[in-house]
């Protein structure tokens, strides 16, 4: 009987030992698995953080305020003539790819205007007047237009480009090293509307982007219904690095639209143009 009891004790002890060992092995496996999962999660997190850090390295956001100067059919002569000027606002984000190329995407909101006196019309020219509302040959005509524009721009650092190709390019004092010159080239898409009036009486002549075909001649179309025009962007800017995170930038760019109706007139020019001159600040991450 004692032998049977001893055997039972031994069997139970072995079973308990096996169960304990198996449970301990399972716990160890779980611990290793959890440790591996934590390592993988940390690795993924570190990779994401590194990728984000690389993306935001030399990433910038800027805000500009300036003027537009219209250069189409309905304009007065003279550079920066007040009759052709209006206001523009620009917000942009940029990514410096290297010390030569930077890519920007920008959103611009603003207005255009211009006027034309009767003396500027040639004998063969007549105001664009589909509805016969013009008294421009007596006085003149004027227009105003509102627009929003989305741009994609490549900016080329001219100074760094010269230094790259001409190793003998002279070193500059610290102050001049903070200044950079850029040439910009890009494309944009513009949504706009425009209305033209008689100069003296301020009465309606014609509008583009309005419900004139429905008989509501001065009723603007909704934003999604307004006409679109592609825009070619070209020009220069100069920047001064105030500190490692902030720079001041002056833009001087031209814009050529594939529409002749920015001034509600289809006359001698097939593509209306305007300048954009603005000053702003960029924050560099």
Domain of 203 in residue numbering reads as 59-284
Q: What pLDDT was estimated at residue 133?
A: 83
**In whole angstroms, what separates CA 66 from the centre of its chain?**
16
What does each of the 285 residues of the chain score in pLDDT, given as a tens digit?
555 555 555 555 555 555 555 556 555 655 665 565 655 556 555 556 555 556 667 899 999 999 999 998 898 888 888 889 999 999 999 999 999 999 999 999 999 999 988 766 665 567 788 888 877 556 789 999 999 999 999 999 998 898 888 776 666 666 678 899 999 999 999 999 999 999 888 999 999 999 988 888 899 999 999 999 999 999 999 999 999 899 999 999 999 999 999 999 887 667 899 999 999 999 998
Pair 5, 133 in one domain: no
Pair 70, 12 in one domain: no
Pair 90, 200 in one domain: yes
pLDDT tens for each residue of 26-60: 556 556 655 656 555 565 555 565 555 566 678 99
Pair 146, 87 in one domain: yes
Q: What is the CATH number of the domain that holds 190?
A: 2.40.160.20
Pair 16, 63 in one domain: no
Q: What pLDDT was estimated at residue 39?
A: 58
Pair 99, 198 in one domain: yes
Contact 89, 67 (CB under 8 A): no
Number of structural domains found in the chain: 2
Helix H or strand E encompassing 225: none
Q: What pLDDT was estimated at residue 112?
A: 96
Pair 92, 38 in one domain: no
Pair 99, 48 in one domain: no
Strand positions, DSSP E, the chain:
59-71, 85-96, 101-117, 140-157, 179-198, 204-208, 210-211, 216-220, 228-241, 246-257, 273-284
Pair 140, 1 in one domain: no
Pair 136, 49 in one domain: no
């Amino acid at each position: 009987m004692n032998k049977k009891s001893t055997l039972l004790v031994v069997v139970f002890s072995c079973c308990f030992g096996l169960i304990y060992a198996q449970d301990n092995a399972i716990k160890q496996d779980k611990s290793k698995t959890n440790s591996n999962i934590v390592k993988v999660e940390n690795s993924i997190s570190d990779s994401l953080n590194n990728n984000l850090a690389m993306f935001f390295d030399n990433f910038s956001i800027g805000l500009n305020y300036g003027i537009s100067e219209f250069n189409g059919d309905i304009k007065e002569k003279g550079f920066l003539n007040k009759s052709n000027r209006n206001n523009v606002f620009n917000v942009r984000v940029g990514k410096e790819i290297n010390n030569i190329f930077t890519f920007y995407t920008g959103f611009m909101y603003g207005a255009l205007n211009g006027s034309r006196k009767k003396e500027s019309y040639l004998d063969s020219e007549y105001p664009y007047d589909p509805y016969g509302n013009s008294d421009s040959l007596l006085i003149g005509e004027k227009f105003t237009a509102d627009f929003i524009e989305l741009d994609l721009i490549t900016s080329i650092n001219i100074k760094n480009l010269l230094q790259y190709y001409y190793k003998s390019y002279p070193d500059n004092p610290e102050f001049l090293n903070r200044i950079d010159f850029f040439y910009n080239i890009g494309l944009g898409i513009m949504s706009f509307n425009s209305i033209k009036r008689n100069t003296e009486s301020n009465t309606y002549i014609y509008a583009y982007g309005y419900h004139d075909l429905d008989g509501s001649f001065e009723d603007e179309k909704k934003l999604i219904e307004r006409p679109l025009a592609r825009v070619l962007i070209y020009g220069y800017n100069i920047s001064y690095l105030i500190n490692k995170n902030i720079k001041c930038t002056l833009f001087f760019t031209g814009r050529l639209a594939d529409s002749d109706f920015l001034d509600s007139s289809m006359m001698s020019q097939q593509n209306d143009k305007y300048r954009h001159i603005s000053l702003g600040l960029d924050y560099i991450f």
